[in-house]
C-alpha cells in the first residue's frame, strides 16, 4: 500500500502485518527499472501534489528522485 499518512501506516502494520511505501519511492522504482522516463509532463504531477497539499514525501525518497532525474523536487 502506498501512503505517507502516519496513522494509516500504523493501521496497516498492526491490522495486516503489511508494509507501506511512499508514492515518490514507487516513482523512483519505476525510473530505476526504466518503466518511465522523467520529463516536464511528469514533473507536473509532483507539482500538483504540492498544490493539493499532499503529505510531504520522505527526505530519502526526495534525494533519490533528484539524483535519478536531475529535476528539483518541488512537492510537499
Domain definitions of the chain by residue range:
6-69
Q: Alpha-carbon distance 35 to 9, whole Å?
A: 26
Which residues, including other chains, have CB under 8 Å from residue 7's CB and lie 6 or more apart?
Answer: none
Q: What is the pLDDT of residues 53-68, one digit of tens each?
A: 888 999 999 999 999 9
The pLDDT score that the predictor gives to residue 15 is 85
Q: Alpha-carbon distance 28 to 66, whole Å?
A: 10
- What stretches in the chain show pLDDT beneath 50? none
Amino acid at each position: 500500500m502506498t501512503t505517507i499518512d502516519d496513522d494509516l501506516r500504523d493501521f496497516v502494520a498492526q491490522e495486516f502485518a503489511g508494509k507501506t511505501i511512499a508514492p515518490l519511492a514507487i516513482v523512483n522504482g519505476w525510473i530505476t527499472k526504466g518503466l518511465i522516463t522523467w520529463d516536464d509532463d511528469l514533473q507536473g504531477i509532483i507539482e500538483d501534489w504540492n498544490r493539493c497539499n499532499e503529505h510531504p514525501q520522505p527526505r530519502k525518497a526526495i534525494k533519490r528522485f533528484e539524483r535519478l532525474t536531475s529535476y528539483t523536487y518541488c512537492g510537499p
